[in-house]
Amino acid sequence: MLKVRKASFAYRGPGKDVRIPALEKISFDLKRGDFVILTGRTGAGKTTLLQLLCGLIEPDEGTIDCESRDLSSISSMIFQYPEDCFFNATVKEEIEFGIRRSGRNASRRLEEIVESIGFDLAEFGTRRPLSLSGGEQRLVAIASIIALDREIILLDEPTSGLDEKAVATVRKILNVEKSENKTVVVATHWPAEFMDLATHVMNLKDGRIDFFVTVADYVDLNLHRERLEEKERYLLNYYKLFRRFPQSEEELILFIRRDKRC
């Protein structure tokens, strides 16, 4: 569905004609229903790639094509700190804005979305977005983008600064999008948080694709081997053994305790 061919992008640097390359000749395809975890060191080009995929910036060279349609009308991006972009007076209006643009049944959809982030419309609907806590603001910001109902959803470190419960809510939202066969790309430094939802993992290194593989290959090829968090290591070992991810945290902890023989 989405074809990226030899796409390059560079930022303007200090001084005249200085260019700082962010992405160099990147090529790959995405299909409907793909859920990609995008990893890579800070400055590797993750954010730039997401911005290209949502049509916010255009490649200096190469092409990005999605069935000849306008990228900015079929994809939406959730930025780092999306809560910086609130522009409505209340939580309800913030979310309604996206719904109106999506053309879906407004009142039913509003309830659905507000419920998906675990908010009570009566309590939160009239609050000023900026009066919410950081985590709550993030969830509202994510919900307002999800409300646009685009085919391609791009998220840039959506769980940074979120507590465990808010992370679980983000996962729940993305699970719904996945079940609707949307294409999802999540840039993150915490791949384990989305591993069970993902179909693929793409790693960027110095502006190039280091690897782009299925989750099964990611585990089998030990592409994760460097510097794993302990939890991540167990999660991937679990997958290696059972060819599926644990269905709950408890299941994983049981597995770890068995491994440690305690």
Partner 1 sequence: MSRESCDILLSLEAVTVHADGRKILESFSLDVSKAESVALLGRNGSGKTTLLRTIAGLKRFSSGEITLDGGIGMVFQNPESALFGATVEENLAFPLQSLQLDRNRIFERIQQSARKFGLTEILDRDILTLSGGQRQLVSIAAALISEPSILLLDEPLSMMDRQDRESILQTVSEIVGSETSVLFATNRFSEVVGFDRFVIIGNRRKLFDGGIEELKRTPSVFYEAGMSVPFEIVQSC
Q: Which residues bind partner 1 (CB under 8 A)?
A: 11-14, 20, 40-44, 46-47, 80-81, 84, 128, 131-136, 156-157, 160-166, 189, 227, 229-231, 249, 253, 256-257, 260, 262
- For the bound state, the minimum distance from the C-beta of residue 162 to partner 1, rounded and expressed in Å, comes to 6
Which ranges of the chain does DSSP label H, i.e. alpha helix?
46-53, 71-74, 91-102, 106-116, 121-124, 134-146, 164-179, 215-220, 230-242, 249-259
- For the bound state, the minimum distance from the C-beta of residue 225 to partner 1, rounded and expressed in Å, comes to 12
Q: Tell me the chain's radius of gyration from C-alpha atoms.
A: 19
| Short-list 144, 145, 163, CA closest to 154 | 145
Q: Pick the closer one to partner 1 by CB: 66 or 192.
A: 192
Q: Pick the closer one to partner 1 by CB: 46 or 109.
A: 46
- For the bound state, the minimum distance from the C-beta of residue 214 to partner 1, rounded and expressed in Å, comes to 22
Q: Pick the closer one to partner 1 by CB: 36 or 187.
A: 187
- For the bound state, the minimum distance from the C-beta of residue 257 to partner 1, rounded and expressed in Å, comes to 7
By three-state DSSP, how is residue 114 classified? helix
Q: Pick the closer one to partner 1 by CB: 45 or 55.
A: 45
Using CA atoms, how far residue 199 sits from 27, 101, 159, 218, in Å, is 18, 29, 19, 10
